[in-house]
Amino acid sequence: MEPLRQLAKEKLRGKKAIAVMSAKGGVGKSLVSALLALSLRGAVLVDLDVHTMATTKLFGLEGKLHEVTKKGIEPFKLGELGVVSLGGIVKDKYVVLPGGNAGEVMESLVAYANLGDANYVVFDLPPGLGDEVLTLERLTDFFPVVVTTPSAVSVKVVEYVMRYLNERGKRPLLVVNMAYMDCGDGKVARPFGDLKNAEDLAKRYNAPVVELPIDPSLESYIGKIHEYDGVVKGKVKKELVPYLT
């Protein structure tokens, strides 16, 4: 009998849970999570990467603390979107946790979050294939959005996740982020190699693929990602969202 786990489960009941994940770091999980949550109607984004809390950096929420009411931790509001992050609890303190505690913290974060009448809960996961994934599996039957770049190392590492999810009976969607860069004049560059590795991976696991370009202008939207309306957001809306609604 674990009251916080029970509450976390009930908070998620009836909502569509989407887990943005990848064993590899730095492939764009947090960015894709943010743009996806911004593109869904009625979503709460829950940042489960308790060591980096990238969400607070993307949305300019650093140093802000969550309000806590009778209904729990009130998400930060960015238009229609709600955002919940451990950053809103610990401010700018580093989070260092021995094994097991991270899972407990994640469970409390979901249990205490006021998810209101959101239809979607988007989880931004840390890299690896550890407690975070297991903890989320305990809480809900999530839909996995697996993120990779085209690079050989990334695709190989992400294959672990695909195989794991497959064995768990899940059908993930594969996002190949930073797949290409538009150089103007119809020219396209592929700084992380061609897409063959990633596309083969998707085929092996029978997963739909969405390819997202590199947009160098993204860096200038760090801190105000909700104002970004460029090519990556467009692709997320047009190609990723339809698989999830």
Ligand X SMILES: Nc1ncnc2c1ncn2[C@@H]1O[C@H](COP(=O)(O)OP(=O)(O)O)[C@@H](O)[C@H]1O
Per-residue tokens: 231: 């090519």
Q: How far is CA 83 from CA 29, 33, 115, 153, 214, in A?
A: 15, 11, 10, 31, 25
Closer residue to ligand X, CB minimum distance, 4 or 223: 223
Q: Do the beta carbons of residue 78 and residue 245 sit within 8 Å?
A: no
Closer residue to ligand X, CB minimum distance, 118 or 212: 212
How big is the chain, counted in residues? 245
Regarding 96 and contact with a copy of itself (CB under 8 A), the answer is yes
Regarding 223 and contact with a copy of itself (CB under 8 A), the answer is yes
Closer residue to a copy of itself, CB minimum distance, 5 or 24: 24
Of the CA atoms within 13 Å of residue 215, those in its CB half-sphere come to 22
Per DSSP, 70 falls in state: T
Please name which of 222, 212, 142, 226 lies closest in space to residue 180, comparing C-alpha atoms: 212
Regarding 215 and contact with ligand X (CB under 6 A), the answer is yes
Regarding 191 and contact with ligand X (CB under 6 A), the answer is no
CA distance 118 to 199: 33
Residues 55-84 that bind a copy of itself (CB under 8 A): 57-58, 62
Closer residue to another protein, CB minimum distance, 106 or 236: 106
CA distance 149 to 24: 9
Regarding 232 and contact with a copy of itself (CB under 8 A), the answer is no
CA distance 125 to 81: 18
Residues 106-145 that bind ligand X (CB under 6 A): none
CA distance 84 to 208: 29
Which one of ligand X, a copy of itself, Mg ion, none is in contact with 102 (Cβ closer than 5 to 8 A by kind)?
a copy of itself
Regarding 244 and contact with another protein (CB under 8 A), the answer is no
Q: Which H/E stretch holds residue 20?
A: strand 16-21
Q: Which residues bind another protein (CB under 8 A)?
A: 1-4, 6-7, 10, 65, 68-73, 89-91, 93-98, 101, 104-105, 108-109, 111-112, 134, 137-138, 164, 167-168
Residues interacting with a copy of itself, by CB under 8 A?
A: 23-27, 30, 51-54, 57-58, 62, 94-103, 126-131, 133-134, 151-153, 156-157, 160-161, 163-164, 191-193, 216, 219, 222-223
